[in-house]
Structure 1
């Protein structure tokens, strides 16, 4: 019994495949998990940031286009394979990038992206609690004051406590927080359209647009594409805990597209009518003291569950990418170490928070390219068949060893996709090419990375027999998703 508990814990907090018995989230559970993720403060903040570029009609269209494409591509590149095999996505990525390639990706792009999001969420929590304090107790806490940092540190400590308990605790909290957030979001939407006429909303000017209207719209679409892609680092590792493919894909799209759009519309409409893109500022003026405080409290707690979900997936990635170096580190210690940099960044509340659009678009450049490579590898080259045992074999015993543990084709194709993104749109300088207004930058990044991966695989890997692309399909059947018992699956 003790041995089985150790294996079960390793499946939940490590990188082993999960069995059917260990898959704890059904359709409703995963729907609430994703709604809880989607209706965190960042969804309202995204709506406010969109309002800085375009008006309501263009903003709604940009949100629908950007989130639908971004979330759709992201789900194909993460949720489908992880749910099928019951394996967290960074172990599965060994088939596209090699063991060493995944480690490089995890300790660079993924680690700093998710630390950035963790810092943003903790600061959002701090600012929300500060606004509640200002209204309830008459304090005068500024958005970048030390108390905001202290509240952010409280959020980090709370998220670490939830995280240490595992996915069942995250599920329990989301069953409470997500429905409350959904009700409050709809309530604020009704309140907005009750107190603001349709004509006023349609006539409201964007907060800080550029002179070129077509560029503003393209930037708004690109920004929302980046938001859709931003879910990629966490979704696969969460989806492996779902009971069926249907319980993984549709709840993810319902939450990360549907619920996100509703929350973003609230944020955009409030920003256009109240003149501030920061949801922690406009929630109380919009809903009044009591409703505004209730909204801020719910949003603050939603950020705790969002933080826990983000760090759960990221630390699973760190554990498998770190190999023997991190395998022996206790889960509580590993997750606590992850929070060190976000805790330091909390002492500079405006560093990422005030550069939200820039942060999202930069991360989108790399995540879009990764998604293009993964989709080409999993769906086109491998036809959704992987050698599960080969994912855990070491060195040349694994078909995914490639060249010294690195799949040069996957790495180069991803780099080419990111380069295509930056060539069309440089988030730092805001320089764009004419094609950006028609194609955005994320969509070409996905296409370039995917096509490059197909070509480079044919050129570099298949002639040398690297990567297991020509392995018989019957040797690559999924194991974790069968009805085999724990002993057979292990």
Structure 2
């Protein structure tokens, strides 16, 4: 392998920025990765949560709105800067949080991806257990053991696929995307044929509030919060695309729209079969028989591996932001480190993860809505979508993003202010709310509060102190976003 190939491999499998000619993912591969990542069992459970508050028609419209608003926040926060410089989401947070402050974003990324991957692999185990129990290979008493065993096999499968790096992910993603989309369509058809559209359309919400507007806003909030969980994923995937134009519509359609549309299956299933909660592993064989149910469950296993694979990749990129790991830990060891806590959770507390899905969604809103808010105001208002690559990746004393001890107080204060606003409006544990939540939701106001706090401190404290590289960013970006600049960082 040539030196250039080695450098490219190190960049793609690490946190280094990618050169323009290394960003080889076109619209179709990127769309395939987005769809294969989004079409996993968790979207059906999200729809099932919305069924507690809204019936079919109102829930469907509300979910589309929430999903598109959520992806809009991510696009505004990340898309242009990550595609322009070939960097991932955590690296893109360094100008707002500081070189050391960006470890907060790394921790949030690691925690959220661990949560999602654990959930997905528990669902994978549930699907595999349902196949084996439905075919009388094992009895009902073996269900919990089967869930754990096959969840751990899913961990091993995701690690094995990623041994080939993101190129392997790019190649298998379109196949997974087509397969799971077809299964989703068949799921919808099977529901309508076996249950009847009239029963689905006429079904009442399962446990609505007395306030109709509260029900609408909560359905909206569930989709905004779940979409914000894609903050780590978006940067990690679109950095491999050649530009913003290439990445925009695959991201919006493959994540924003696909998640909303496919979550509707969970909504409809929960309304028609309330005890399912939208989880297809509980009703596929019942409504479709073995001939349909078993292949569908097999594709659900495949879909969850596809999403887990993307999650492991982006969490490995985040871990590579730690200089010691970037320099000393090989790719396969990094992906193993990303999967280790997932394997422990699958083995030890699978039911706890499943039972606390709603609180996990709220945590996503608490964590990532403020982060999107500070990035939007910083990149759009202050930096005009430019940054200093050397300060991000080398971080020498006195560089633009050193701030005070490597931490930008504006960014940390913005995160705290936004999180406080979210928790005031909506308790993430028991979903009790305070006014004016029923009119404005929680994630969007949290992003707005974080942006305002960040803007004020930046304008009146950070910029007068000469910190953050404001006023110099444009020249640095023009000089350092070329093919000549990035190799210098990688030598």
Same fold (TM over 0.5): yes
What is the correspondence of 1:181-196 to structure 2 with a 5 Å cutoff?
A: 181-196=180-195
Task: Return the alpha-carbon distance in structure 2 between the equivalents of residues 432 and 351 of structure 1.
Answer: 24
- CA displacement at 1:430 relative to structure 2: 2.3
- CA displacement at 1:323 relative to structure 2: 1.6
Conservation of the 8 A alpha-carbon contact between 1:48 and 1:279: no
Conservation of the 8 A alpha-carbon contact between 1:390 and 1:397: no
- CA displacement at 1:472 relative to structure 2: 5.6
What is the correspondence of 1:25-64 to structure 2 with a 5 Å cutoff?
A: 25-64=25-64
Conservation of the 8 A alpha-carbon contact between 1:19 and 1:485: no
- C-alpha distance 478-262 of structure 1, shift in aligned 2 (>3 A): farther
- C-alpha distance 102-485 of structure 1, shift in aligned 2 (>3 A): closer
Task: Return the alpha-carbon distance in structure 1 between the equivalents of residues 488 and 453 of structure 2.
Answer: 38
- The match for 2:101 is 101
- C-alpha distance 218-143 of structure 1, shift in aligned 2 (>3 A): farther
Moved more, 76-85 or 399-408: 76-85
Task: Return the alpha-carbon distance in structure 2 between the equivalents of residues 478 and 287 of structure 1.
Answer: 60
- CA displacement at 1:241 relative to structure 2: 0.3
- The match for 1:421 is 422
- The match for 1:449 is 450
The CA deviation string for residues 258-282 of structure 1, in whole angstroms up to 9 with x for no partner, is 2212211111111111221122112
- The match for 1:471 is 472
User: Which secondary structure does the structure 2 equivalent of 1:77 belong to?
Assistant: helix
User: Which secondary structure does the structure 2 equivalent of 1:53 belong to?
Assistant: coil
- CA displacement at 1:294 relative to structure 2: 1.6
- C-alpha distance 325-171 of structure 1, shift in aligned 2 (>3 A): closer
- The match for 2:259 is 260
Conservation of the 8 A alpha-carbon contact between 2:13 and 2:166: no
What is the correspondence of 1:197-212 to structure 2 with a 5 Å cutoff?
A: 197-212=196-211
Conservation of the 8 A alpha-carbon contact between 2:89 and 2:231: no
1:114 maps onto 2:108 in alignment: no
- The match for 1:248 is 247
Conservation of the 8 A alpha-carbon contact between 1:160 and 1:335: yes
The CA deviation string for residues 432-486 of structure 1, in whole angstroms up to 9 with x for no partner, is 1121111000010011011111101012210110000111623222755x56698
Conservation of the 8 A alpha-carbon contact between 1:131 and 1:141: no
- The match for 2:232 is 233
- The match for 1:389 is 390
Task: Return the alpha-carbon distance in structure 1 between the equivalents of residues 136 and 242 of structure 2.
Answer: 46
- CA displacement at 1:49 relative to structure 2: 1.8
- Runs of at least 5 residues in structure 2 that lack an aligned partner in the other structure: none
- The match for 1:310 is 311
Moved more, 198-207 or 453-462: 198-207
TM-score (norm 2): 0.94
Moved more, 62-71 or 347-356: 347-356
Task: Return the alpha-carbon distance in structure 2 between the equivalents of residues 440 and 143 of structure 1.
Answer: 42
TM-score (norm 1): 0.94
Conservation of the 8 A alpha-carbon contact between 1:71 and 1:229: yes
Moved more, 403-412 or 211-220: 211-220
- CA displacement at 1:224 relative to structure 2: 0.9
Conservation of the 8 A alpha-carbon contact between 1:388 and 1:478: no
- C-alpha distance 60-382 of structure 1, shift in aligned 2 (>3 A): same
Conservation of the 8 A alpha-carbon contact between 2:93 and 2:105: no
Conservation of the 8 A alpha-carbon contact between 1:20 and 1:243: yes
- C-alpha distance 137-479 of structure 1, shift in aligned 2 (>3 A): farther
The CA deviation string for residues 77-111 of structure 1, in whole angstroms up to 9 with x for no partner, is 2222111111122122111111110113313x222
Task: Return the alpha-carbon distance in structure 2 between the equivalents of residues 296 and 23 of structure 1.
Answer: 35
- CA displacement at 1:283 relative to structure 2: 2.2
Conservation of the 8 A alpha-carbon contact between 1:120 and 1:353: yes
Give the aligned length.
487
- Runs of at least 5 residues in structure 1 that lack an aligned partner in the other structure: none
Task: Return the alpha-carbon distance in structure 2 between the equivalents of residues 303 and 141 of structure 1.
Answer: 23
